[in-house]
Structure 1
Amino acid sequence: MLEKLRGMAVFASVVRHGSFSGAAKELGITTSAVSQQIRSLEEDLGVALLHRSTRKLSLSEAGESLYHAALQMVKAAEQGRDSVSQLKDEIAGSLRIATSPEIASTYLIPALSEWLSEHENLSLNIISRGDALDIIEDRIDLALVLETNPQGVSLTKVGQVLLASPEYLQRFDAISVPKDLSSHAFIAHGERSSEHLEFQKGSDKFSIRVNSRLITNSQSIALSLAASGYGIVKASELNAKAYIESGTLVPVLADHALPTLTLTAVAVAKDQLPTKAKKCLEILTAYFGK
């Protein structure tokens, strides 16, 4: 039975990483050992769990069914280990936090630095997965995200700005009021090619619809495209900080304010957080409260 459970845990890791080598690295075993575990599991069940090609692994129908059960098994085992740590009142094990590289370097690492030094048995795993993140499947304890309408614990406010390269602004018509944007190229961050931009200047509010020919789900790619002169981009001040400081991108309509974002800590179930995640959230809240 133990060997079968071990095989399911290895199988879940292979699917999560999309490769035998990725699972081997996470589990601290050889790639051949991973392959043997999967082979034994398939022989025991009498079905193929994975379709193998030179490019990637894909799940069979049976594999997809087993994967969900394997995930639940791994999660239950991790919760059991966390329960032991909580009973001992220790801050130990692995804390998995998902966020962007900019948030990690600007906020997360400075906030947790002293705490990590005090708890040598605690390991911090910072995951940068952007929009592809699945909090449950990726076993995330906390996710730090920028949101317009915060759904978790609000930590701090972050402004948004419109930006373009100096070269772009020299080539095209001047922009002095929001309606001037209608004749300009936009770079969209997200899934939609059109967006309503909301501005406020004093007590006056403005709304304009813009369309984009270039669309990406990566904020860093959108900023890079803008820096190369492909159009105007809306970005958080945090993500755009380096571009603004270097002069690669400059603010557009700086006297018109866009809605602010909220840096939020999100968890799957706040009431069931392990001790280490609860303490981390307390530290982050206190850090931003200062």
Structure 2
Amino acid sequence: MDDLNDLALFAAVVRHQGFTAAARATGIEKTRLSRRVAALEKRLGVLLLQRSTRSVTLTEAGSLFYERCQFIIEGAQSAYESILELKSEPTGTIRISCPVLLAQNYLAPILPGYMAAYPKVTVILDATDRHVNLIEERFDIALRAQYQIEDSNNYVARELGQARRIMVASPNYLNLSGRPEIPEALHTLQIISRLSDMQDRLAHWPLRRESEHQILQLEPRLATGDLRVQLEAAIHGIGVALMPEPIVSAALKSGLLEQVLPPWHASGHIIHMLYPKPKGMLPSVRSLIDYLQAQMPATIIERSVLTPQTGVS
């Protein structure tokens, strides 16, 4: 495609009714304007302007060409203005990925507040337990809950809080099977385990109470990587599950679950936010990042069962 700048220069000459006036308006030398328009006419093979010592007028071809140029120039100007609008205030669409239960427990209570504060922003939330690739899948932000923060040169990682794992079971199950008083008694109970805790067909639960540490190797009745399945299984009396505090807090408060062996717990997850490095970041994305950093830590603490601790156990 030919240089679109020549179209803009030609249109400026027509709009300002001459090369001298166009040079003053655009700040481009008159001789350069004349050369560029002449080069455009040569490429097209037609005369666009009739030149005289006093003025320039459009030829028939020039009039038709100018009419079409206006559409192109106005479209380009609109494109530039749309970017300037995006950069001037939070507006546009933000795509965020978050595990399902984190979305339900952490984002659901606070996201409406963000939407009310920034009415020009549209949020697309992909609540999925799948590990997404932010760059390849064009996500602006991802929330993660893992044992450690990911180390990557491509992303910025911000810790939002921590969630230890505690043991829970339904009161009915404990009434039937008995409430364990020491960790070793878990060997006599049915266990619900996360797949990431499994080694050689056994669940490895690294439990601690203050300075005491124990690693129990238990044979699970159910092993799954889905936290929702674990939660429902525990509520329905399948056995004892070791789960993040915020995931079970509502069920504990409602009496659907009961904490087993308090204050024993296991090392938990660091809840953190990932986003690409902020060079060229739009105000909309920055506004949501700042909002989540301000709001989510308190939400995580509110959903905790145990007294929050500093550092990762």
State TM-score, norm by structure 2.
Answer: 0.58
Q: 2:225 aligns with which of 208, 217, 220?
A: 217
Q: Secondary structure at the match of 1:207?
A: strand
- Cα deviation per residue 1:25-48 (whole Å; 9 max; x = unaligned)? xxxxxxxxxxxxxxxxxxxxxxxx
Q: CA deviation at 1:163?
A: 0.8
224-233 or 169-178, which moves further after superposition? 169-178
Aligned residue number for residue 237 of structure 1: 245
Q: Secondary structure at the match of 1:281?
A: helix
Q: 2:189 aligns with which of 179, 184, 188?
A: 184
Alpha-carbon distance in 1 for matches of 2:225, 2:126: 17
Aligned residue number for residue 285 of structure 1: 293
- Please say if 1:257 is aligned against 2:265: yes
Q: CA deviation at 1:106?
A: 4.1
Corresponding letter in the other structure for 1:190: L
Alpha-carbon distance in 2 for matches of 1:202, 1:253: 13
Q: Cα 1:85–1:144, aligned 2, differ >3 Å: closer, same or farther? A: farther
- Residues 112 and 280 in structure 1, CA contact (< 8 A), matched pair in contact too: no
Aligned residue number for residue 124 of structure 2: 125
- Residues 159 and 259 in structure 1, CA contact (< 8 A), matched pair in contact too: yes
Alignment gaps of 5+ in structure 2: 1-78, 151-156, 299-313
Q: Secondary structure at the match of 2:265?
A: coil
Q: CA deviation at 1:183?
A: 2.7
Corresponding letter in the other structure for 2:267: P
Corresponding letter in the other structure for 2:174: L
Aligned residue number for residue 4 of structure 2: none
Q: CA deviation at 1:122?
A: 0.9
Q: Cα 1:272–1:208, aligned 2, differ >3 Å: closer, same or farther? A: farther
Corresponding letter in the other structure for 1:247: G
Q: CA deviation at 1:136?
A: 4.4
Q: CA deviation at 1:188?
A: 2.1
Alpha-carbon distance in 1 for matches of 2:144, 2:94: 17
Q: Cα 1:128–1:190, aligned 2, differ >3 Å: closer, same or farther? A: farther
Q: CA deviation at 1:289?
A: 6.2
State TM-score, norm by structure 1.
Answer: 0.62
Q: CA deviation at 1:112?
A: 4.4
Q: Cα 1:110–1:184, aligned 2, differ >3 Å: closer, same or farther? A: closer
Alpha-carbon distance in 2 for matches of 1:260, 1:215: 18
Equivalences, count: 209
Alpha-carbon distance in 2 for matches of 1:273, 1:156: 27
Corresponding letter in the other structure for 1:196: H
- Cα deviation per residue 1:139-177 (whole Å; 9 max; x = unaligned)? 322122222212321012223211111222223254111
205-214 or 112-121, which moves further after superposition? 112-121
Q: 2:274 aligns with which of 243, 254, 266?
A: 266
Alignment gaps of 5+ in structure 1: 1-79
Q: CA deviation at 1:235?
A: 1.2
- Cα deviation per residue 1:107-147 (whole Å; 9 max; x = unaligned)? 33444444422332210111111136454454322122222
Corresponding letter in the other structure for 2:216: I
Alpha-carbon distance in 2 for matches of 1:176, 1:273: 56
Q: Secondary structure at the match of 2:238?
A: coil
Q: CA RMSD in A?
A: 2.8
- Residues 141 and 273 in structure 1, CA contact (< 8 A), matched pair in contact too: no
Alpha-carbon distance in 2 for matches of 1:90, 1:132: 31
Corresponding letter in the other structure for 2:182: V
Q: Cα 1:237–1:86, aligned 2, differ >3 Å: closer, same or farther? A: farther
169-178 or 121-130, which moves further after superposition? 169-178
Aligned residue number for residue 3 of structure 1: none
- Residues 235 and 257 in structure 2, CA contact (< 8 A), matched pair in contact too: yes
- Percent of pairs identical after alignment? 22
Aligned residue number for residue 147 of structure 1: 146
- Residues 165 and 227 in structure 1, CA contact (< 8 A), matched pair in contact too: yes
